[in-house]
Structure 1
Amino acid sequence: MLVEDDPAVAAVIADILEDADYAVDGPYDTLADGIAALADNMPSAAILDIRLQDGDVGLLADDLDLYDIPYVFCSGVPDFALMRRHPASPLILKSALSTELARTLRNMLH
């Protein structure tokens, strides 16, 4: 599941995931859409932009934790308070997506 509100970044992430043979659900560009997608379609993993237009993804991360679904935070700027609440979830800076995202997901899922 991909939750990202910047269409250009979402397209880059989707391409990286598809090139690594992952199916992409999304992108969802709001917290509400991400929560609804989780309820409709339990993903194997999620990539979450920390800051969305309608707030941070903390509530969605909480829900993913409840269902033991692994996720990666993806952001241009870290949110240390959110990351402290979810210490098991890695942060990938958007500047490092092309080198880190597929490798991180492989390590999380296999």
Structure 2
Amino acid sequence: MDTKAANSILILEDEPLIALDHDQHAEEAGFTQVMIFSTCASAHEWLQTHTPSVALLDVRLRDGPCSEVATLLRNKDVPFVVCSGSSKEDVDPAFPQGIWVSKPCTPAELITALKQAKEKVASPA
């Protein structure tokens, strides 16, 4: 059975150093369970049986665009933060529905966005 794990976050990032930074910022934002994936395929497979409370993703990884993951998160009512160097206008329509943070960003900007996403879980619209 798939249930939404409290205070959990899925991080989808293929640059190891950025993924480590995201992990640290997620912990600073109050997340206690962190799952990091470096490919869209592995994240999509994990999401078939798991649901995080929030997700943080890039628009494109080495194995391609993360559009299917963003759509699956939206279908599961998982709020997500997009941290990307891409422009909102140049991406799949699934992405701008997330909270957008442009790369590069400050730790404070990312932590604020993660807390905003977490608040959406606490008080869904």
* Shorter-chain TM-score tier: 0.7 to 0.9
- Report SS of the residue matched to 2:91: helix
TM-score normalised over the length of structure 2: 0.78
- Unaligned ranges ≥5, structure 1: none
Residue of structure 2 in register with 1:15 after alignment = 24
Aligned to 1:98: 107
The answer to whether residue 49 in structure 2 is matched with residue 36 in structure 1 is no
* Partner-residue secondary structure (3-state), 1:96: coil
Match of 1:70 among 75, 79, 87: 79
How many residues were matched structurally? 110
Quote the Cα distance in structure 2 between the aligned partners of 1:31 and 1:59: 8
Which of the pair is proportionally richer in helix? 1
3-state SS of paired residue (1:104): helix
Q: Alignment partner of 1:68: what SS?
A: coil
Provide structure 2 residue ranges, at least 5 long, that are not aligned to the other structure. Answer: 1-9, 120-125
User: Normalized against structure 1, the TM-score is what?
Assistant: 0.87
> Aligned with 1:69: secondary structure?
coil
How far did 1:106 drift?
A: 1.6
Q: Specify the code of the residue in structure 2 equivalent to 1:61.
A: A
Stretches (4+) displaced over 6 A: none
Deviates more, 1:64-73 or 1:23-32: 23-32
Residues 47 and 97 of structure 1: CA distance in aligned 2, closer, same or farther (over 3 Å):
farther
